[in-house]
Structure 1
């Protein structure tokens, strides 16, 4: 029998890795947003700040919504969870395309700040979520490979 390094007396919750992913992702998103707004404001003024805020909302919202939907879907039957995740992905994609199409009409933001912040949010928030999942200690047990009621070992 093999077990992981989770302590025997600890209370393990099955959603712990997903909750950790969401928590680390939110922290990374907030830090990235503050950093991007400061840098973009120094580089391009108010237009840079708006670009960074919009980019953080689009990129961070896209990734964090995925983590929240997976956490919600973990409690559902597999077929329903799959449909919910597929529908959320299509919905997020449509919302992102509509938002970008609407933003094309305006000039109050810096497009480079928006682009760099979206890319940064996608990479950093996804990386933080991955780190959160991998950092969790998940107990597991390896069962021996033997048939129930097999009399060959007793003879």
Structure 2
């Protein structure tokens, strides 16, 4: 018989994800601002900052919720994640409406920074969770229907 999963293992894993995503977003912001300045001047800098800000809200809030709810039952974690996702979609919609027609930022730089943020965050999270020692199934439970 295997021992039940220790919630501190999951919390430690998600803490590592939170740390790694934070480092990634900071590096992406610095590189995005530098690249944006080269490509579009001040508008490029603002495009990179807006893109990095949106990326930070999305990536860091998800990682934080995973860390904060690691010791809770799965349905509690899922409820928090779905609720946060809905909130982030509403914030994104408001941001896009406010940015529509604005000329202070470079839309191409914003797009590139957001695309890199999505791909980079997925890679960071996948790397951490793939190497985690957290079971995805409960080996103790058995299907009693068959």
Instruction: Report TM bin, short chain.
Output: 0.7 to 0.9
Change in CA separation of 1:139 and 1:65 when aligned onto 2, cut-off 3 Å:
closer
Q: What is the TM-score normalised by the length of structure 1?
A: 0.75
Map of 1:85 onto structure 2? 81
Q: What is the TM-score normalised by the length of structure 2?
A: 0.79
Q: Which has the larger radius of gyration?
A: 1
| Structure 1 unmatched runs, 5+ | 3-11, 145-155
Q: Return the alpha-carbon distance in structure 1 between the equivalents of residues 24 and 67 of structure 2.
A: 18
The within-5 A match list for 1:1-155 is: 13-136=9-132, 138=133
Question: How large is the Cα RMSD of the aligned pairs?
Answer: 2.6
After superposition, the C-alpha distances for 1:54-84 in whole angstroms (9 at most, x for unaligned) are 0011123212211111222223333333222
Higher helix content, 1 or 2: 2
Q: Return the alpha-carbon distance in structure 1 between the equivalents of residues 80 and 10 of structure 2.
A: 20
**Higher RCO (CA-CA < 8 Å; seq separation 6+):** 1
Q: Return the alpha-carbon distance in structure 2 between the equivalents of residues 57 and 125 of structure 1.
A: 14
Task: Please state whether the residue corresponding to 2:85 is helix, strand or coil.
Answer: helix
Q: Which of 70-79 and 49-58 deviates more? A: 70-79
Structure 1 runs of 4+ aligned residues shifted over 6 Å read none
1:133 positional shift: 2.9
8 Å Cα contact 2:55/2:117 also seen in 1: yes
